A = this chain, B = another copy of it.
């Protein structure tokens, strides 16, 4: 089951990696690529998207890298995955029918929409700030 795409996974892990660093730090993509075990060029593309989306900011050249564009408590996981995977990530029918909730619902709509709402709420509620905190306190991992 892949709730989010690989691209989103990578984007989240990188964002959490940056959030764990001192505020304002520019982290190089090369370092993240190495520490997180993600292809450098692929990660670059994903972070470019997040930069263009206004969630991160970048600086080229020596001492350059990627930093958060806003305070970590104002960036939610939902912001990130929707920026990468598209804004209607949580809007589709679980059976793949077009227009979930618009036309007649499918047999699973009632049951699925409840779970879906909970998941979306979780993504919305979780900020980089909060997760970075928990990660440090509980020694959680961002790589295999």
Binding-face segment, A27-35, A53-61, A133-141: A133-141
Residues of A whose CB lies within 8 Å of any CB of B are 1-4, 6, 9, 12-13, 16, 77, 85, 89-90, 92, 94-99, 103-112, 115-116, 118-119, 122, 126, 131-132, 134-135, 139-144
- Docked CA distance A85–B140 (Å): 29
- Docked CA distance A96–B99 (Å): 29
- Contact A94/B4 with A107-B142, A140-B104 known, Cβ cut-off 8 Å: yes
- Nearest-neighbour CB distance to chain B for A15, whole angstroms, equals 11
Checking B1, B97, B99, B104 against A90 with a beta-carbon cut-off of 8 angstroms, the contacting residue is B1
Q: Is the CB of A97 within 8 A of B1?
A: no
Q: Is the CB of A96 within 8 A of B6?
A: yes
